[in-house]
Amino acid sequence: MSTISRLSRDECERLLRAGVFGRMVVLCDGRVEVLPVNYATVGDAVLVRTEPGSLLDRYGDGASLVFEVDHVTYERWHGWSVVARGTGERVAEDELTEVERAAPAPPPWVRRESSSWLRLRWDEIAGRRVGSGWDPLAEMPIRRQSR
């Protein structure tokens, strides 16, 4: 039987920064939507590129958002999940900071004429892991390389 334990803030940030794919949760007209996204982290923020007029673009600006990234290895009965909470901020391409422009951007899934950016500066970050005796970062099938 596996055990569940809390991840430290440092572990949460390490896993969140290493990830490339997660889910953004946003409230749209009173209804919760969970949207899969490619992402990057810059400082204490998740940065997502989306389509102008998309649900995330229309409802994410100024809204309380939840972002989640995780990994599970079913065969070994272990996994982890990190959740970041904060307020979304729509950012025009020319409003990105120098650091954000220099960071590896999340790859687009579809070809678009234009993009909209959403920044989620987290004020809360927490996570849990199932199982012990293994390195969650080492088992990520795809991870962002730290610079």
Which pLDDT belongs to residue 142? 66
pTM equals: 0.86
CATH architecture assigned to 4-130 = Roll (2.30)
Give the whole-angstrom CA distance, residue 120 versus residue 43: 11
| Residue 96 CB burial class (10 angstroms; 0-12, 13-18, ≥19) | middle
Taking the chain (147 residues) in runs of 10, the rounded mean pLDDT of each run is 88 93 95 94 90 92 96 85 96 77 68 80 96 76 59
Q: What is the pLDDT of residue 147?
A: 43
In 3D space, the residue among 132, 38, 30 whose CA is nearest the CA of residue 80 turns out to be 132
Could you tell me if 24 and 65 are in contact, meaning their C-beta atoms sit under 8 angstroms apart?
yes
Whole-number Å distance between alpha carbons of 126 and 114? 33
